[in-house]
Amino acid sequence: MAANAFIAFQKNEESRCIVEAIVEDNPEAIVSDQPAMVKVDVPGRLTIRRSTVEEKMGRAFDLQELQLHLITISGHLDETDDEFTLTWNA
């Protein structure tokens, strides 16, 4: 099994929508709630899609806004206008 790529956010209303979007787009996602923060692990590849986040938030969303809530990541990053992905052993 591939190692987990992960991402952690400060817990707030925006990150709640982002995490919901991750769970929808990554069926293997494991969400762990910790004091003041939330961490999401996905084996091998974690994808955040702008369109799904926008649907959850009900507004336009620029993926670079993730930077406001980010705590940490694990995996090789690739970012475009539409997708933010973290991968191991790609």
Partner 1 sequence: MDMKVAKKLGLKERYTLMTRDLAWETTYQPMDKVFPQVGYEGLKIHDWDKWEDPFRLTMDAYWKYQAEKERKLYAILDAFNQNNGHLSVTDARYINVLKLFLGSTPPLELMAARGFSMVGRQMVGAGPRVACQMQAVDEYRHFQTQIHSISNYNKYYNGMDEFAHQQSRMWYLSDGKSFFDDAITAGPFEFMVAIGFAFEYVLTNILFVPFISGAAYNGDMAAMTVGFSAQSDEARHMTLGLECIKFMLEQDPENLPIVQRWIDKWTWRGTRKLASIGMMMDYMLPKRIMSFKEAWEIYFEQNGAALFGDLERYGVKIPKCFAQTVEEKEHVSHQTWIGFYMKPDATPFHLTVPEPDELDWLSSKYPETFDRYYRPTLEYWAKMEKEGKRFNNRTQPMNCQVCVSTIKFNEPGDADETCFRESVYLGEKFHFCSDHCKDIFDHEPEKYVQTYISSHQALQGNCANEGVDTNAPDFNPGAHIADYWRLDPRATGDFKGSDDEKNFAAWRAQATKN
Query: Roughly what angle, to the nearest 10 degrees, separates helices 13-25 and 50-57?
Result: 130
- Exactly one of 20, 25, 57, 74 binds partner 1 (CB under 8 A); that residue is 74
Q: Least CB distance from residue 70 to partner 1, whole Å? A: 5
In this structure, are strands 37-43 and 76-79 parallel, antiparallel, or unpaired?
unpaired
Piece of 5-13, 22-30, 51-59 that binds partner 1 (CB under 8 A): 5-13
Q: Should residue 51 be labelled a site residue for partner 1 when binding is judged by CB under 8 A?
A: no
Residues contributing to the site for partner 1 (CB under 8 A):
3-6, 8, 10, 34-37, 64-65, 67-81, 88-89
